[in-house]
Copies of this chain bind each other. A is one copy, B any other.
Amino acid sequence: MNDKTHDRTAMIVEPQFASVTAEQGPLELECGERLTDVTVCYETWGTLNEERSNAILICHALSGSAHAAGWHDGDDRPGWWHDMIGPGKAFDTDRYFVVCSNVLGGCYGTTGPCSPHPADGRPWGIRFPIVTVRDMVSVQRRLMDLLGIERWFSVAGGSLGGMQALEWAWRYPDRVLSVMPLATSAALSPQGIAFNEVGRQAIMSDPHWNNGDYYDRTQKPDKGLSIARMIGHITYLSDESMMQKFGRRGRALRDFHFGHKEGYHFDVESYLHYKGNQFTQRFDANTYLYVTKAMDLFDLPAEAGSLKSAFRNPRARFLVVSFSSDWLFPPVQSREIVQGLRANLADVTYYEVQSDKGHDAFLIEVDELTQIVRRFLNRVEIKGESHFATTPSKI
């Protein structure tokens, strides 16, 4: 256990991220390559109790960071799950010690393609090895040691974050008291892979991508990254929410010509352009390649032999949540996870939240999610470890 653990002052401010970074040393990756130095960037909220039993790990999605809640100097908006994490909120920081770390391959402080290559000090770019959800969880697992935590009270995440939560349940069943995979899947659908691949192609076709080596250039592959983000955004919204939000509102036919800047007919087009451009100011194009690839590669049934085997000997209690209009990670995929759990007689609670917000619902439907999460965490607190821990089903 590291002394750093108790030094809460170290957790207040760092120049760029107002998060803490910690060196982890080398890491063997699933692809067979080895990273000689891994740095992990994380943030925490609340206080670790004396028993070290109240720690919750929050796993972020594709474009997230360790900055899940609160405000840093210069922020124009708070952390990405600010409405869910804090005093009296779903993840109540008066009761829980909440931890969130940037994923391996990320661009918010944890080692990734924009980190310096140990050989030449220049950014890795696409020399960076392929990383997987398994590797991301390995880094979190070592962070757990650093923080002196024996068992997470809960591991929670939506989308790619939910994949990490599932990986925790499969790989470290003894180190999690409860697990919350939200708006996620045990394996991305070919449709999801296809959307990710088109986004990656948009980035790699941008001449400013320059085979991933653009960090010291004035022009970055912003156009490609922006297109990738636009595609992503369409898949995060639902048809209904787009209809409600934009309908077919737009400008008149006669005001439009191709090739004119900002010449969009429809509000939905302007919105996507705005979102795409905004994204290029805060995200790294190579990280987009690596993290979407990790999402594509995650395949718990393949890794474990089957979904049922992935959850054998379940000690943890599970909360699985899907959202009715989420077509990127549709409810049927959550129900498959639930079936895999029930086949092991696991203690699993499942909600399909009625929402028209699409995949983004896990970030937006705060009221309903707060009730669901709070009730679940209370239940875990009262009941502790699952009774079915040692009686896996023979079904």
Ranked 6 nearest A-B pairs via Cβ: A126-B258, A190-B268, A190-B242, A205-B223, A197-B269, A191-B239
Residues on B with beta carbons closer than 8 Å to the beta carbon of A230: 194, 197-198, 201
Q: Complex: how many Å from CA A248 to CA B230?
A: 24
- Chain B nearest CB from A193 CB (Å) reads 5
Residues on B with beta carbons closer than 8 Å to the beta carbon of A374: none
Contact (Cβ within 8 A) B253 A297: yes
Residues on B with beta carbons closer than 8 Å to the beta carbon of A266: 190, 193, 197, 296
**Dominant SS among interface residues on chain A:** helix
- Chain A residue total in the interface (Cβ 8 A): 63
Given contacts A191-B239, A194-B269, contact A257 B201 (CB under 8 A): no
Given contacts A30-B253, A211-B259, A258-B212, contact A193 B296 (CB under 8 A): no
Check: A72 CB closer than 8 A to any chain B CB. Answer: no
A-B contact pairs, 19 of them (CB 8 A): A32-B254, A126-B259, A187-B248, A189-B239, A190-B245, A190-B266, A191-B237, A191-B243, A193-B268, A194-B269, A194-B272, A197-B230, A197-B272, A198-B230, A201-B227, A239-B330, A248-B299, A248-B302, A265-B297
Contact (Cβ within 8 A) B189 A205: no
- Tally of this chain's copies: 2
Q: Name A253's contact: one of B130, B189, B248, B269 (CB within 8 Å).
A: B130
Check: A234 CB closer than 8 A to any chain B CB. Answer: yes
Contact (Cβ within 8 A) A253 B132: yes
Given contacts A202-B202, A205-B223, A231-B198, contact A190 B257 (CB under 8 A): no
**Which B residue's beta carbon lies closest to that of A129?**
B257
